[in-house]
Amino acid sequence: MRYANLTGWGHGLPPSILTNDDLSTFLETSDEWIVQRTGMQERRISHVSAIEMATLASHRALACAGLEADALELIVYGSCSPDEQVPNSASGVQVALGAKRAAAMDVNTACTSFLYGLASATAMIQQGMVRNALVIGVEYISPFMDWSNRNVAVLFGDGAAAVVLEASDTPGGVIGTVLGCDAEARQTLRVRGMGCSYVDGGLTYGDTLWDFDGQAIFKRAVHGMSEACARVMREAGVTADDIDLVVPHQANLRIIESVAKYAGVPMERVMVTVHRYGNMSAATVPVSLVDALSEGRIKPGSLLLMPGFGGGLTFGALLVRWGDRVTPLGTSDATLPPVTASALEMVNAIRARQADRGRSVEALMNTRFIETLLTPAATP
């Protein structure tokens, strides 16, 4: 049987940190309020594009695997905040890396995009379509955030991470997969206005409008991830005692604790990074994986459980058997360009642009309304 072992890993995190106290300068909130409800203390705000963060993570993952970019055969870019709708973002990473031989595709299942991408790339390697793949999880959410909405503005951050998969006869990599979608409740988590959206018979675009039913999302997230964990372990013939580390989507500390409880895994065997980075959507699982490796929490042969949940409402859980190597074969000297503003300054600049755009759209709508009144009715 052919396997797809994880041989490289790396992240591309922007350096600027937005704290809870920073958020309290323009939102009615506090560090205590945010920590108590989410477990989050800070998150990153990027001064570069998503493709640039993804490219940095990719350089580091390829160096870690000892794989040259021109030998890469597939790039899977998991994200729900692309820099452009067309062309796909994976092609931007391909150009930046110089990976001319690689096929390139995007996957958008919101916060589960990395898990869906990892499962897809694994299947393509197992079927012999490609011999290796780069799988990226990245989000650049800050420009699309509704910074006036406390319910969502305190939750999300920017970041990226990537892993390299390579074909092998040695058992390892993804050994169990459960993916699903609770689509009847898709409206409970929705971002309208990214790019454009079809509303009331016409196209609208501009500022984003976040639909976020926190209580419904919490219940369905816990249920979806817990059921996926139970099923993937049952189908693989393993129990909670066999799991060495859970690397979950970092949406909320209480969700993580609930899923771990239902899975039967104590919190000391759960990787938690939500306090450091907030919810980076598709990037949370791979960033947590890279941190777990750097902290020595993953050993050769470790069995990992990776559950996730996102808009759609998508959910899933993967079982990953780690290989023999937990240290990089090489390192990359790639870096992000210097940052010249603090995270709070960047957020305030985004808020100012959103306010200007809102006034412009309001003026345009008023103009169109007046024009409609002044336009003579068509004669029969």
Q: What does the pLDDT read at residue 196?
A: 46
Neighbours of 27 (CB within 10 A): 17
Query: Would you say 34 and 359 are in contact if contact means Cβ atoms under 8 Å apart?
Result: no
Q: Cα Rg for the chain, rounded, in angstroms?
A: 21
Over its length of 380 residues, how does the chain's per-residue pLDDT go in tens digits?
899 999 999 999 999 999 999 999 999 999 999 999 999 999 999 999 999 999 999 999 999 999 999 999 999 999 999 888 889 999 999 999 999 999 999 999 999 999 999 999 999 999 999 999 999 999 999 988 899 999 999 999 999 999 999 999 999 999 999 999 988 878 877 777 665 444 444 444 456 777 777 788 888 889 999 999 999 999 999 999 999 999 999 999 999 999 999 999 999 999 999 999 999 999 999 999 999 999 999 999 999 999 999 988 999 999 999 999 999 999 999 999 999 999 999 999 988 887 876 655 455 445 555 555 555 555 44
Active site residues: 111, 249, 279
Q: Which residues pair with 317 in a beta bridge?
A: 178, 307
Sign of CA dihedral 178, 187, 213, 359: positive
Residue 68: closest CA among 79, 76, 59: 59
Q: Which residues pair with 237 in a beta bridge?
A: none
Alpha-carbon distance of 157 to 279, in angstroms, equals: 6
Alpha-carbon distance of 94 to 106, in angstroms, equals: 12
Query: What b-and-e string marks burial along 243-255, b requiring 16 or more CB atoms within 10 Å of the CB?
Result: bbbbbbbbbbbeb
Strands in the chain per DSSP E = 3-11, 17-19, 42-44, 74-78, 103-107, 132-139, 159-168, 173-181, 189-192, 197-199, 202-204, 209-212, 245-246, 303-310, 314-321
DSSP state of 210: E
Query: Would you say 137 and 89 are in contact if contact means Cβ atoms under 8 Å apart?
Result: no
Query: Would you say 55 and 65 are in contact if contact means Cβ atoms under 8 Å apart?
Result: no
- 159 Cβ contact partners less than 8 Å away, ≥ 6 residues apart: 11, 12, 13, 14, 44, 46, 53, 138, 139, 277, 280, 283, 287
Alpha-carbon distance of 78 to 113, in angstroms, equals: 5
Residue type present at position 307? P
| Structural domains of the chain, with CATH | 3-356 (3.40.47.10)
pTM score, whole prediction: 0.90
312 token code pair = 């759609």
Query: Would you say 46 and 16 are in contact if contact means Cβ atoms under 8 Å apart?
Result: yes
Report DSSP letters for 156-201, one per residue: B--EEEEEEEEEESSS-EEEEEEEEE-GGGGGGEEEE-SS-EEETT
